[in-house]
Structure 1
Amino acid sequence: MKQLNTRQARLLLYLLNHEGFHTSQALGQGFEVTSRTIRSDVDRIAAFINELELDADITRKPSEGIQLQASIKTAQMIKMALRPYPDTQDQTLKDILFEFASRTTYTHVQDVMDRYYVSRSKALQLLDELEMWLGRYGLELKRRRQKGFRLSGEEWKMRQMMKDVFMEEQKSHHWDYDVQLVWQEFKQLEQELHFPLTDRARNNLLYHTLIFIQRLRLGNVMQEQERTTDDLLYQHPEYETACRFVRRLSGLLQVRIPPHEADYFALHLLGSKRERVTDHAADELSSWNLFDSKAAAMMETFIEAVASDYSQDMASDEDFKRALLLHFQTTLHRMRYRLRMENPMLQEIKKEYESSFDWVKYWVQNVQEPLLKDVPEDEIGFLMIHLQSAIERHRQITEPIRNVLIVCESGMGTAYLIKEKFNNLFPGVRHTEVSAVHEWKHKNDRLQPDLILSTVAIDDERVFQVSPVFSREDQKALTDWMNTKDNTRSVLVKYSSASLFFPGMQADSRTDAVEQLADALINQGYALPALKEHALKRETLGSTAISAQIAIPHGHREDSMHSAIAAALLQEPVDWGGQSVSIVFFIAVDYESPGEAEALFKELFHVSGIKERTDRLKKAQTYQEFITILRESEEIS
């Protein structure tokens, strides 16, 4: 497949970021090429879309021009694939970006050549790369023949870009005086909050504040229509806290801050990740009255799914519920107001906790909540941390160890996840506490730990530094006896049996398939009659299809008399909530532990992700052949 050249990639990004029709003449002027070249580039882009079978379409109308339409997910996928991330930029490119972001005037190519000692061709190449990268934020590099180049786009997108890049480069020294003043006000702000900010959220908000002050000084005021607010924002108990903070800043820094700019700060404050207070006296119900009914409803819906798929004990865990409620409050706020939060641990999370991540992703895709439609994987990763923490807390493992302090900059959800994983390795530990980075010395003095697990470098001989996900590599390094792979028997195989294997099953619909398998489980004494009703009700809450091939219907754990999994290979695929399903695993298992539930979902998602294996499973004629293919999946995973 022939790749797009730089100009074609820029054109594709432009069409994605600018809705409606565009004439080839206007595009040609903007890209400084002929209309004919634009039409040729559009042909290549259309071929590119067809070759990759993307959910996008190019429309051409003689009287109106060219239009690109794509689904939200496809547009995001294209944008992330075509442009480099900040950490792939060379230092010269980053310096150019900082300079452009700090100016309101045009910069000529000659200025770039003189300042960075590069040739004209190299300067133009850098500017092309910069424009492609800016497209990630919906920004562009405006070009004028006689004037040069300048950044262009909505102000809130400009600030988001600057925050991400300035944080990565730790450019706060540009505002040394402002940092000191703002930081003092931040300390007062946090004293007024019901739940403290995580370390990372605090840094995020600090940079947002410094940048919006700098932009106001340059005369770059956000337009009121750029950020839509509503009564939910104004009625939030912490909205006035945000406004007081902004008023104090205005007087302190002698900057006029318009009311809608105060709303902009409030949006980011209320969408910032929080950590739970560990002082139970302060963790009273009055603080939890802050949360809106939608966050509580989402927490209950999530808990119901956890009870059904994992463990009733987990679903009854009050710490888990409160962590989820706090999480959904800020998550729904970010989704409501389109606030993007990057998850720096996303790739590690997907690698280390693949099955739990897939389970949360599957739940999000099926939950009936418009705000969670097209939720980014960064947010799925944050939610998965809370699920995995509860899984680890409820595992049944025993081993002894000593006092430990866990220091984490990514928030209390991550800290508790590390804590529970550690305690599962060494459940005999006398006491384990967690701490944010800025509090670790105080807690160290009180606890006097023998060992400090930290996600950041701390100069102390007791410190053992780990990644925020406390990966298998971390555990192996900490404990040389740690096995990095679970050698237990396949849960799928463990609960399957020849009497519950149905090749060539005829089913008219998913309801028919669920009823037939439920009847088999009930008639063979594996489940109570209520299983059928509960399984059908579960299907009304959202499809249990986990891929284009496999569905996993299930009822309640209490419906199971003897744990079992019934498997059916359908003679003809049936529609299962929009998926064409041929393989059905009906789960009627009362798990021995949450870890067993986690292992089962890991197997199921692993099997569903390999088309060659699902194709072979569909063709299995005997139970032994079916189990042999499943065991192959077990060995690979």
Structure 2
Amino acid sequence: MKLNTRQMAMANALIEHPQLSPENMARKFDISLRTVYRDINKLSDWIFEKGWMEENSFGKLLEKFQDPSFTTMLKKEMNDYSAQPRYTQQDRMELIVMELMLQSEPIKSYLLAQKFGVSEKTVLADLDKCEEWIRPFGLMIEKRPGQGITVRGDEKNVRRMIMDLFYRGNESTQVRETFQELVESKKEEARALKVENRMLGLVSRETIRIIGDQMNRLEEELKENFTDEAYIGLMIHIILAVYRIQNGEKIGIQDGIFEKIKDSKEYQVAQRATKHLENLLGLAIPESEIAYITMHLQGAKIAKKTGEGTREETIKDETVIRLVKRMLDEAKRVAGHSFEQDGELIKGLMIHLKPALSRMVHGMEIRNPLLSQIQKQYQEIYQLAQKVAHVLEEELKKNVPEEEIGYLAMHLGASIERNQEKAAQKKRVLVVCPSGIGTSRWLTTRVKQSFEELEVVGHVPIHEVEDALLEGARIDVVISTVDLGQRDFDYVVVNPLLPEEDRFLLENYFGILSKEKQESSKLYTATEKVNRSRKQFDLSRLKEYLQAFDGLLETFGWKEKVSVTHQKELTRFLAKAIHGADKSLVAQLEEELARREQLGATLVPGSGLALVHGRSKTTDGLVGGVYRLKNPVDFRPAKGEKEEVDTVLLLVISSEASKGAKEAASHISALLLEEPGFVELLRRQSREAVFIKMKEIYEEFVKKYVKSCL
């Protein structure tokens, strides 16, 4: 494993000041206390891997920093470590191409060799490989004897290549945060030599802040929010333009484009935006640059509209309406069934198509991070989309890029799934439990296993049940794991493990329900509108899933032979495992966990394992761990006799966590019942085996989410 710049700085700070507290470290590095503990854990893991600590723990780490011989050795190691290259051959090749594209004059090969600490022979070998993957972008590497090396090609293709380089190794949903962190951070940090950092280093932080403010103005003026990819694409484009203007370079554009776009609404918006930038940055921005910004605005995918309704100009566009109708006719011809009754598909295609047409007319590309997965796992739907795309190719006299075909496949696939679901007439139930992440998923699993005629449309904590009923989806009945008291809707209370007597209760209940609904059901129905719970793909939701799993794996606790004698003492230990020496946070979390356990202990009957879980105001995101006890302790379930527990899976999620993070936590807890052997894995296997399984769970969860959107 490797340390990042901040973690190395923390090590050096502890070498100089062994008594430095986590709180002081948080102030010193201008980060949260949670981040400090995460970085210290990384540092501890790194030192443990080196074989310098016999036990990997926070306490042992602090003891080590009291040892002068250790700190002397570590200081030398840190100096050697910081001098090591921070890039692979692939990193170096990408950086070489970036350097060549950003310079207006040829660069000598020996200068590139010096910059990256390799021989000229290595640089020349890298360039031969680079040429292979820049050729599809319409670019070529030109070696001019006596002058140097440069990249030759149209400005549009150079910008496409720069965007491709920037996104390599970066999730598109995380790139926007890179800009925000750069603007908001109060301290300058040395950065590893990476493509994105080279790009961000072209202009000052103040210039990036000004450009970011202007992006917000654009969204306000257009009354639309850009997706992350559209936002970052335009942001990087403007940074590159400012850099080139500041260096006296001329920006050209293909003949004829300016005349096509100068009368558009987007051009007027771009003109006003560049005027603001000129005043704030003291630059003269040419018309060609305004044209490029206009094309970005016309080709931008929209995340959501500011306010109510749909984009009127899109719906009224006769060309879009005509093309959507032709596309649906072609889809019907190929697939053998009609798509014309799917209003959601028609609306989605209309909103998607106008910017897509603009992108294709101007030769602008869009990234589709799920393209390869769609092509491999949903071949029939992708082939259908290819045939539908012929309609656009006939209209534009151009080939439709496969990335655009991938987005068409997502729209068509979702429609096919919605159509298939209409045939299934199931009673729709909402599952409720105290926290929404533990027992509700257990009950959901049991209901699905026991009743084919029931469709669980969601699972929520107690305090969100009213909102869930008002969201618009038809709910036939609420099934709860606890008594909800007097409510305005009917509900059934069952044990989360759904024993035989509770299954019998539900069988009788739904028999009564079917008779009552013929007359006048007393059960709560939020609206006549039926929402079939088919997800629409959302990159921000996918990002929430990934962040939740990443955060959990990064901070996942693990301890063997925990010495406690009763459940209350165990709860206190778990709170300390999360918050360390912070007595206030420990006390608050201990109280929250104890309050949750009072509603019913969440043990897996007959397994020796308990899931201690809940929501907390003291944590960020999703945290947890596996803790194996030296001696078993008694747990008392919601119903039945007490049982001995020797292993605890702890899952705590922030009260303010995103919906995606909550769903990720629910998925993990459900595995205790759904995944064969998962309980024994947690109780018996090594930490490495558990981590491998958690990563597999992580990947499978993401795949299932993507599949549910198609």
Q: Which has the larger radius of gyration?
A: 2
| TM-score (normalizing by structure 2) | 0.45
| TM-score (normalizing by structure 1) | 0.50
